[in-house]
Amino acid sequence: MYRALASRAVRATKSLSDTKSSTFLASFTSSRLNHSLPFATVDAEEISGTHPAEVQSFVQGKWIGSSNYNTFLDPLNGEPFIKVAEVEESGVQPFVESLSQCPKHGLHNPFKSPERYLLYGDISTKAAHMLALPKVRFLARSFAVPGNHLGQQSHGYRWPYGPVSDDCYTIQFPLEIPLLQLMGALYMGNKPLLKVDSKVSIVMEQMMRLLHYCGLPVEDVDFINSDGKTMNKILLEANPRMTLFTGSSRVAEKLALDLKGRIRLEDAGFDWKVLGPDVHEVDYVAWVCDQDAYACSGQKCSAQSMLFMHENWAKTSLVSKLKDLAGRRKLEDLTIGPVLTFTTEAMLEHMENLLQIQGSKLLFGGKPLKNHSIPSIYGALEPTAVYVPIEEILKDSKTYELVTREIFGPFQIVTEYTKDQLPLVLDALERMHAHLTAAVVSNDPIFIQEVIGNSVNGTTYAGLRGRTTGAPQNHWFGPAGDPRGAGIGTPEAIKLVWSCHREIIYDFGPVPRGWELPPST
């Protein structure tokens, strides 16, 4: 899996040869997976125990190593194949100084160095075909409101925070999420310190080198590999004006307190799907459910964690089709694979706890994968589904917390409800604390309206083709119901997360004819 992630980062440059910047990109058209890429320091196809990759940090315009290495094992065979040079607490000062040198008004804003908006359009054009049009200046678009008298006009601007931190502890999308947030921060004029999970930091390290090759000013971004304690120390000492955190709810809440609320969050996602009373296209819906729950071995913040089936769907072959689809997934083609954050024992223990609930049962899966060399520090479990009666889910808070515990792996809860039990479903949705993605699978507009009108998930897919997982290629992706919630994937998300509103009121006069000094007030 790691090898695939690293390959993706390098292979992403393949599309560069299709851009109009043919002169600049000529060097990218030769062999894509070797050191002919002028920025690359690894060959993704050769990373192994005998040829381990080394990941560095970047600060104040220089790549730096460390004597403190965090070595990661290949999830498929246990070989130590990636060495991450992690900064220790004693080495945080250069990162603190670098952030502190950035003013609150940013590296650029609508009044200062506006040509840098075009610079980042050019960098983006060269870096990826998907950003081929240099339109980023429009993210800082202002508006004007007529004043109360001649010569007065109010202008609203999107203003950078200046020194910021982009903390993306996400392993499932090691390129997409950190890169989208990083570029959004830069577009708006901020200076970010980027931190990603060390397990997958090799991907963004190589992307940083690509961006430098494409013209990214080396002083604009710092990149650090460290443990959480060291990163927390930097945040407390450097005092960034805003921090984006993508990761667990527990860490998110701690940071919110440490940083006195100067934070945006895209945290945990225990995501639900409700199948409505109208049954259509059982094969298609089963396939989407399988993809939502088990693609990437369930290791995605948008994974289908709980499936609410209307009794009409329970009478179909849906569950048996889900079992068959799950059974097609094999380690050989990585349609099921190593789980990086839960061990096999932890997932099986959770399953056994669920099966102690009255009326619960194992629908399929529940067994460790066989014939593999996955190290015991990772998880290896068949795609698994456990049925729990809706009444038992809501029986008491302890049971509810158990059932709605997010397992970042190939694991989901399935339940059933009758036409008279929809209020129980809505109650279950109301009690959840994570509101990232959701799906309402129905073509009944009244049913859709009732479920959506009584829920809050920030990215909700509705209709027959509703899903919980969709890359935000054409829509907002992020949680709702929390004023600290972050977004990704749209201009609105970039402006919300990486800028604040600043109002400038121009008042040039003229002073009214015959004006006299008024009495004091």
Q: Quickly list H helices, 68-224.
A: 93-100, 115-127, 176-187, 201-213
Question: Out of 86, 176, 205, 266, which one is annotated catalytic?
Answer: 266
DSSP-derived letter for residue 510 is P
**Closest by alpha carbon to 48, among 79, 69, 19, 23?**
79
* Number of other residues whose CB lies within 10 A of the CB of residue 65: 14
Helix axes 201-213, 176-187, angle to 10 degrees: 40
* Residue whose token pair is 């990636």: 82
Helix axes 201-213, 2-11, angle to 10 degrees: 10
Question: Out of 205, 296, 301, 382, which one is annotated catalytic?
Answer: 301
**The two three-digit tokens of residue 428, written as one number:** 């279950």
Residue 289 is among the residues annotated as catalytic for this protein: no
Secondary structure (3-state) at 272: strand
Residue 79 is among the residues annotated as catalytic for this protein: no
Phi, psi of 134 (to 5 degrees): -75, 70
**The two three-digit tokens of residue 163, written as one number:** 């020194």
Q: What CA–CA distance (Å, rounded) separates 395 from 196?
A: 39
Question: Which three-class secondary structure string do you get for 288-302?
Answer: HHHHHHHHHHHCCCC
Determine contact, residues 10/206, Cβ cutoff 8 Å. yes
* Number of other residues whose CB lies within 10 A of the CB of residue 376: 10
Give burial (CB, 10 Å; 0-12/13-18/19+) of 200.
buried
* Number of other residues whose CB lies within 10 A of the CB of residue 299: 24
| Residue type at 405 in one-letter notation | R
Q: What CA–CA distance (Å, rounded) separates 145 from 506?
A: 11
* Residue whose token pair is 């950078």: 160
**Closest by alpha carbon to 253, among 265, 243, 244?**
265
The string of DSSP codes covering 49-65 is SSS-EEE-EEETTEEE-
Active-site annotation, residues? 266, 301
